[in-house]
Every structure is written in C-alpha cells, then in structure tokens.
Structure 1
C-alpha cells in the first residue's frame, strides 16, 4: 500500500485492536507519520456474521474518509 500512497492514491488499513499499534508502527517506519489505522475488535473469528457486518458498518465512515481524502483534502481535488 505504501506504493499507492507514494503515488497519491489513498489507502486504508483495517486491522483488529490487537494489531493496530503494530500496524501504525510499520507505517511510521515507512515514513508515513499520519497514516491512520482503522480498528475492529479482536478477536473476531468467533463472531457471527451479524456482528462482523455490524463492525464493518461501524468503521465504514472512517474507511470511506481515508479513501477519499489526501492530506485532509478531497482526493479528486488533491490529484489536480
């Protein structure tokens, strides 16, 4: 994903609460200081499909925001 970010294409990282810190540290190590990590609960393997869908719906606004903005600007505006 850092290749996409380097080209100005927004990405979103979604991981469980158990691995969010490690994911953020990896992004920082790659030089992406402000890359956000969207967290879902951990563990989720035991959850039913309704609970997983609810978690996805809960984080969807954050994922959509990350995928449509670059540096706080609308991605379409940032590309021009």
Structure 2
C-alpha cells in the first residue's frame, strides 16, 4: 500500500487577534428595558421566560432569530431596543458561535450584553470572544445538557443562574 503524506498549514479560527480589542459597554445603573434574544434552540425560550419572570418592573423586549445562524439586521435592531440584551442559548458549536458573534455585534452597536451558554461550551465561547477582541464578554454558564429536557428541568437549571445574572445587572 502506498500512502501519500501531504503537509498543510491550517489556520486556527481562534488565533490570537492582533491589536483587536473591543471595549465592552457598561451595564447602565438605571435599566428600564431588557432585550431577551432567543436563538430558538430547545430550552432557550424557557430560560428567557424564567429570567423575565424574575426581572420585576422591567420592560421586556422579545427578539428571536434562527439557531446556528447570524441575526439579521432587523433582528439585531430589535435587540438594541433594550438597555441590555440577554442572549440564549449556546449549547452546541454553531449556536454558541452565533450567540457570541451576535453579542459582539450588539456590543459594537452600544448595547451591553450577557450571553448564556452551557458549561460544556462556555470555554469555546470565551475563546471565541477573545479571538474577536472581546476577552471580557459577559458569559453565564448554565448546566448542560438542556436539549431534550422537560421545561421544568430547564427552569430549575435557570433558577441556579439568576443570582449571577442579577449581580451582573444590578451590581448586587
């Protein structure tokens, strides 16, 4: 048997950025409205509805986009209607990629963001954010798996991240 060995140079998609640095927007001290950006992954709606139920007296703006794809200009514009945007859910490779990239796009538009990713994909999410100059992008980890879980189970996992979310939002 004859085997040809060919060397190829492969580019690391998460390589160190040269000189890129995104300064994140501060969470406002007075939040009037929060945009909940649902990427339609199973469980994302439950996570965001549970969060909304714990954000008393805040206007909720719901925005939705397809999973595993970038948000359209219209979808991003809708998400900018809030003082802060919470994006969910990164729990696989493509979904995590687009949650993070859409969060970066919103940050560039002046909207502070919080991304929710499963703990199995949070390391990838942080590396991706860093590769795009957003090393300190706000990412909250939720317990994996979520897909295939009953709404009550997803809700229970969400309750566990509410204190961290409130700490980020309200500095409490």
Q: Shared fold by TM > 0.5?
A: yes
Listed as ranges, the matches of 1:1-80 within 5 Å are 1-66=103-168, 68=169
Indicate the RMSD between aligned Cα atoms, in angstroms: 2.2
Q: 1:28 to 1:3 in 2, by over 3 A?
A: same
Aligned residue pair count: 69
CA contact (8 A) 2:107 2:113 kept: yes
Which structure has the highest helix share of the two? Answer: 1
- Contact (CA 8 Å) 2:129, 2:137: kept in 1 or not? yes
Find the structure with the greater CA-based Rg: 2
Give the alignment's TM-score, normalised by structure 1: 0.67
- SS of residue matched to 1:12: strand
SS in 2 for 1:47: coil
Unpaired runs of at least 5, structure 1: 74-80
**Structure 1 residue 7, shift from structure 2 partner:** 2.9
Residues 1-46 of structure 1: per-residue CA shift (max 9 Å, x gap): 2121123311111111110000011110111111131111111224
Contact 1:24–1:36, Cα closer than 8 Å, also in 2? no
- Please give the TM-score of this superposition, normalised by the length of structure 2: 0.35
